[in-house]
Amino acid sequence: MLRFIAWRLGRAALTVLLVLVGCFVAIRSAGSPVDILYPEDATPEQTALLEKQWGLDRSLPEQFGLYVANLARGDFGVSIIERRPVTHIYAEKLQPTLQLAGLALLIGVCVGIPLGAIAALRRGRAAARAAMALAFTGYAVPHFIIAIVLILIFSYHLNWLPSTGAASAWHYVLPAVTLALPLIAAIARYMRSTMLDVMNQDYVRTARAKGVAEPRVVTLHVMRNALLPLITVLGLEVAGLINGSLIVETVFSWPGLGKVLTGSVSRRDFPVLQFGVIAYAIAVVSINCLVDVLYAVADPRVRVES
């Protein structure tokens, strides 16, 4: 088990390293850090400081080493636009993003699992068809369309729910639902197909043949075996959730990371963009890593395979 964890952690670390290389290369191909950081008029002191900090007079591998060393010390640079450490900016905006994504994940799981289960158990009936149609729609409609439709209906016309910012609990409803809909769709689809698979397994048939009551078959045998692989799927959906949150936060003026990140692209605020990408990558990598470890704990076969 320990060996598995160590192996998995190593892989995660390597992934993060590759992300760092990618960021470094991308930022370097965008131009000299001096021009990027002081596009207007850099004073000679500022230029000298930057050159020392980035080691611009040294070889590229050395520069990369220095870059990683700076990051390791927690020095992610200062926002070009806001002139304060990027870590401060993100610290301020982490919570709203986590809350929103967390809530969306919760809604996705709470609605998606029953929906998928219904679709599998009541196969061919109207309820199942409706559930799957809903899931299908959630899959085909992008976040930004869901968002503007919800705002138009619930904010402008009905005046039921707020549309910008995160000032109160009500402000969470529309963005969370927007973010959750495609997630519900993904989970429901997945749940349905796994449950159908599981229901055809021998042990379920055996249980039925033995005369175990249907609800018991469903909960004890089918659901339990279908839910386990769902953990892995959820781990993978986190990446999709982040894609979505970038859009949703922009549309709803959510005071979170998404707006900071998308804004940093058009403002060419590279320190902000870079930290965002690294932070998101680390988050996703560690979640996936955790999921794999948990899964290995629950299902020993995985360990052997790897």
Partner 1 sequence: MSDVFFKWMRNTMLIVCAMVASSAHAQVRELRVGVASHVRSLDVQEITSNSGASFLYQIFDTLIERDNHAAPLKFQPGLATSWKMVSPTTMELKLREGVIMHDGTTLDAEDVKFSLERVLDTKDPRYTSARGRFFYNLKSVEVVDRLTVRVHTHRPDPLLETILSARNAGITSKEHVEKVGKDKAGLMPVGSGPYRVDAFKPTELLNLTRHERFWGERPPFDRITFTRIPEVAARITALVNREVDFITNVPPDQEGAIRRVKGLKLVGAPLPVFHIWVLNMSHPATANPDVRKALNLAIDREALVKGLWAGRGYAPKAHQFKEYGEPMFMPDLAFYRYDPKQARELLKKAGYKGEQITITFFPEYYLYGNHAAVAVADMWKKVGINVKLQMSEPAFSNADHTKVMVQPWSNPLYYPDPMGVFDTHWSANSWVVKKGLWKPDHPEWAPTYEKARFSTNIKERREAYRKLLTMADAMSGWIVLYQPYESYAMNENIDWRIPSAQRPYKLTFRAGQVSFASR
Partner 2 sequence: MLAVLMAVVAVFAPWLTPHDPDATQMLARLKPPAFMEGGELNHVFGTDQAGRDLLSRCIYGVRVSVGIALFGLVIGCLIGTTLGVISGLFGGIVDRAIMMLVDVFISVPNLLIVLVGVAAFGTDIIVLVFLIGLARWETYARMVRGQVLQVREMPYIEASRALGASRAWIAIRHVLPNIASPLIVLLTLNFPSILLLESSLSFLGIGVQPPTASLGSMVGDGRDHLIAAWWVAVAPALVIVAITFVVQMLGDWLRDVMDVRIDD
Task: Report the interface residues with partner 1, using CB under 8 A.
Answer: 35-36, 38-41, 43, 80-84, 92, 95, 98-99, 102-103, 105-106, 151, 155-156, 159, 161-165, 167-169, 172, 253, 255, 259, 263, 266-269
> Considering the rule CB under 8 A, would residue 250 count as an interface residue with partner 2?
yes
| Shortest CB 266 distance to partner 1, Å | 5
**What is the footprint of partner 2 within residues 218-237 (CB under 8 A)?**
236
Q: Which is nearer to partner 1, 41 or 305 (CB)?
A: 41
> Considering the rule CB under 8 A, would residue 89 count as an interface residue with partner 2?
no
Q: Which does 155 bind (CB under 5 to 8 A by kind): partner 1, partner 2, none?
A: partner 1
Q: Which does 296 bind (CB under 5 to 8 A by kind): partner 1, partner 2, none?
A: none
Q: Which is nearer to partner 1, 35 or 62 (CB)?
A: 35
Number of shown-chain residues binding partner 2 (CB under 8 A)? 50
Q: Which does 19 bind (CB under 5 to 8 A by kind): partner 1, partner 2, none?
A: partner 2
Q: What is the CA radius of gyration of the chain?
A: 24
Binding mask 164-193 for partner 2 (x = CB under 8 A): -------------------------x----
> Considering the rule CB under 8 A, would residue 288 count as an interface residue with partner 2?
yes
Q: How far is CA 13 from CA 283, 289, 293, in A?
A: 12, 10, 15
Among 32, 206, 219, 243, binds partner 2 (CB under 8 A): 243
Residue 126 and residue 119: Cα distance in Å, rounded? 9
> Considering the rule CB under 8 A, would residue 19 count as an interface residue with partner 2?
yes
- Whether residue 118 contacts residue 128, with contact meaning beta carbons closer than 8 Å, is answered with yes
Instruction: Classify each residue of 248-286 as buried b or exposed e, where b means 16 or more C-beta atoms within 10 Å of its C-beta.
Output: bbbbbebbbbbbbbbebeeeebbbbbbbbbbbbbebbbe
Residue 107 and residue 23: Cα distance in Å, rounded? 33
- Could you list the residues that contact partner 2 (CB under 8 A)? 11, 14-15, 18-19, 22-23, 26-27, 29-30, 136-137, 139-145, 148-149, 151-152, 156, 189, 236, 239-240, 242-243, 246-247, 250-251, 261-262, 264-266, 268, 270, 273, 276-277, 280-281, 284-285, 288
